[in-house]
Structure 1
Amino acid sequence: MTTMTTATLEKAAEKAATVEFRSLRREFGATVALDGLDLTVQPGEFLALLGPSGCGKTTALRMLAGFEHPDSGAVLVDGEDVTHVPAHRRDAGMVFQSYSLFPHLNAVDNVAFGLRMRKVRTSERRARAAELLDLVGLGDKGERFPHQLSGGQQQRIALARALALRPRVLLLDEPLSALDAKVRLTLREEIRRLQQELGITTLFVTHDQEEALSVADRVAVMRAGRLEQCAEPAELYGRPATAFVAEFVGTMSRIPGTVQDGTVEILGQRLPVDGQAPGAGEVDVLVRPEAVQVRGDGAGTATVVATAFLGAVVRVTVRLADGTEAKADLPAHEAAELGAGSAVRVSLPERPVLVAPRVQK
């Protein structure tokens, strides 16, 4: 991808918009797609909407695009209520999972389609399309038709088309999910680099937590039409606000513990609780695999169940004395001596831990 001119960058930065969802509610029959969604996206921010299928993330995006309307609540762009403004007047560019290119148009004409609908002169729209194709690394593919392009190339064309009208907001609805792993990784890096160059306010819908954490300034985790937490990736991963966020974002093990006097007893240790401690009683302690410490010990009460090589680390699954399984990520040299059936001792670092109500298995 090429670097944009200073003038183009300044023009893009000037148009970056603030987006607000205010108490959005939408029902489809008996299904509640959005249940009072409140969320603000800052100018020039790259925000990922993350959650499982059916959580409402795509519905929220379609409301911003103008393809859906809420039963109640409002959508604002730079303080202007656009809830009932037609889609073609929203000043938003959208990229879909399925590319949605016109098969009878070549790449240049696909990119220039919106400009043609706005009666922009032929020479100007073709020049703009050529500029954008160059920007997405396809400057030499302008005369090719969609069937002559790979999936990744088609999605780049769709991205260029979304940017052709210089929108104030860019909307990306699962744009990488139809691509293979290697192309997906490359394109997500290019999308992030392009967004930073343009400075355009961007909402990115995905169910892939790794994707969201790697590209977004902030990640908004949704569940059942509601916002669970919106935070920067490091905070979301390291200090999840709810058990759902903790387990949806990354790998998390539940280890039984007992709370008393604001601390939790677990694995023979007593550790402080991260956040407000619940009343005395049984809880599950939620721990990341990189926080679980495992060492071989013939007198240990835990047993290695399985190991999996993950490249930089080996993930070791251990079964505790009560039958609970936990996962630990260890350097390869430490895991080398821990085969299935090995007796081990399991511990946690001396720092606050996240707890949740006990889940009976």
Structure 2
Amino acid sequence: MNGARVEFRGLRRTFGATVALDGLDLTVEPGTLIALLGPSGCGKTTALRCVAGFEHPDAGAVLLDGKDITRVPANRRDAGMVFQSYSLFPNLNVYDNVAFGLRVRKVPAAKRRARAAELLELVGLPAHGERYPHQLSGGQQQRVALARALALEPRVLLLDEPLSALDAKVRVALREEIRRLQLSLGITTIFVTHDQEEALSVADQVAVLRSGRLEQVGAPAEVYDRPATPFVAEFVGTMNRLPGRLDGQEVEVAGQRLPVHGETPGTPEVDVLVRPETVLVTAAYDGEAVVLTSSFRGASVRLLLRTDDGTELLADLPAHDAARLAPGQRAGFRLVQRPVLVGPRTTVSPPATATAAAD
């Protein structure tokens, strides 16, 4: 399969007074897996449905390899879609579910069955062709739905939160399988999810949406390490908010001066956004904080600290470094010297756990 280039140009879609997409501009390069990431109601599924042809924008255009397909019927678009709910036909066996689109296109029966068998081999279900959907697990049903979407050899694969109904272990295994298939087939894939870990682990590019607008698009490491806005910083990963004071292009926070990245508010009193892995903690009887909780995570430990001024923050440490930091102990901390984002000072700084998105 050869992946297609997909472009969203000034896409706008409203539902009554609700604005689902507000001038979305985004390009997906051929053969790329891009994750549309954002909170519920941000417009990511609406954008996907506009590519599929199930929604028609009020303004703007969807282009496939430079061709405007905005008003092309869904059945004439070169796209396959996998839904969150699988949407398998309960009265058809697995072979017939996979080959359904081929039957609609009047492909001869022998070719349909051969193609279905090929795809079931591809998704790891070669012996399940005669079974019916109710005889399959959730993960197996989703594999069948994926095979059905690939049967017509689409140039764009659309995945609408396809793993959200699965348990954690199956979800991780299947997302890795989807990534393997996408790389081997070279198919352009748009993956909608609200799970930041899922987006970061499988995508070439992550596009973060908020209220129908694109906040940032970039490689997973770029979006995580260099978020463009405070919203992206807090939605993608876990983030602490610490009180600070601006001084030119630096901010004073926790007894340190750190360079500021990005825009700054008009007031000197700000909140400084700091990731837990950039908080370095040591046991100290005269330290400025106390350990409230310690959560073992295998190779790492997450500590919740409270400073003497009442600010709470999270810190992620290697497990061997956290051995002496039990709840109730005093500790000192400092921040890694790196550029930080700042935002307007909140009335009351929330506990660090309150700003963790899908953590």
Structure 2 distance, partners of 1:269, 1:280, is: 19
Amino acid at match of 1:146: P
Question: Could you tell me the TM-score, scaled by structure 2's length?
Answer: 0.95
Counterpart of 1:341 in 2: which secondary structure?
coil
How far is the alpha carbon of 1:322 from its aligned partner?
A: 2.2
The farther-off stretch of 330-339 and 214-223 is 330-339
Q: How does 1:21-170 map to 2 (within 5 A)?
A: 21-170=8-157
Contact 1:259/1:279 (CA < 8 Å) preserved in 2?
Answer: no
Counterpart of 1:159 in 2: which secondary structure?
helix
Contact 1:107/1:141 (CA < 8 Å) preserved in 2?
Answer: yes
How far is the alpha carbon of 1:153 from its aligned partner?
A: 0.5
Q: CA RMSD in A?
A: 1.0
Matched, 1:262 2:268: no
Structure 2 distance, partners of 1:251, 1:234, is: 14
Structure 1 distance, partners of 2:54, 2:267, is: 49
1:339 aligned residue (322, 326, 329): 326
Structure 2 distance, partners of 1:280, 1:33, is: 32
Structure 2 distance, partners of 1:261, 1:109, is: 66
Matched, 1:251 2:238: yes
Structure 2 distance, partners of 1:33, 1:279, is: 30
1:234 aligned residue (210, 221, 227): 221
2:187 aligned residue (194, 200, 207): 200
Question: Could you tell me the TM-score, scaled by structure 1's length?
Answer: 0.95
Structure 2 distance, partners of 1:229, 1:276, is: 14
Contact 1:262/1:278 (CA < 8 Å) preserved in 2?
Answer: no
The sequence identity of aligned pairs, in percent, is: 71
Amino acid at match of 1:18: R
Contact 2:291/2:306 (CA < 8 Å) preserved in 1?
Answer: yes
Counterpart of 1:97 in 2: which secondary structure?
coil
How far is the alpha carbon of 1:280 from its aligned partner?
A: 5.9
Counterpart of 1:68 in 2: which secondary structure?
coil
Amino acid at match of 1:299: D
Structure 2 distance, partners of 1:63, 1:217, is: 22
Match of 2:294 in 1: 307
Deviation per CA, 1:155-186, whole angstroms, max 9, x where unpaired?
00000000000001000000000011111010
Structure 2 distance, partners of 1:305, 1:251, is: 18
How far is the alpha carbon of 1:271 from its aligned partner?
A: 1.4
Structure 2 distance, partners of 1:65, 1:127, is: 27
Match of 2:352 in 1: none
Contact 1:309/1:315 (CA < 8 Å) preserved in 2?
Answer: yes
How far is the alpha carbon of 1:347 from its aligned partner?
A: 0.7
Structure 1 stretches (4+) deviating beyond 4 angstroms?
276-280
Deviation per CA, 1:227-265, whole angstroms, max 9, x where unpaired?
110010000000000111101111110111111121111
Structure 2 distance, partners of 1:17, 1:131, is: 23
Structure 2 distance, partners of 1:351, 1:123, is: 62
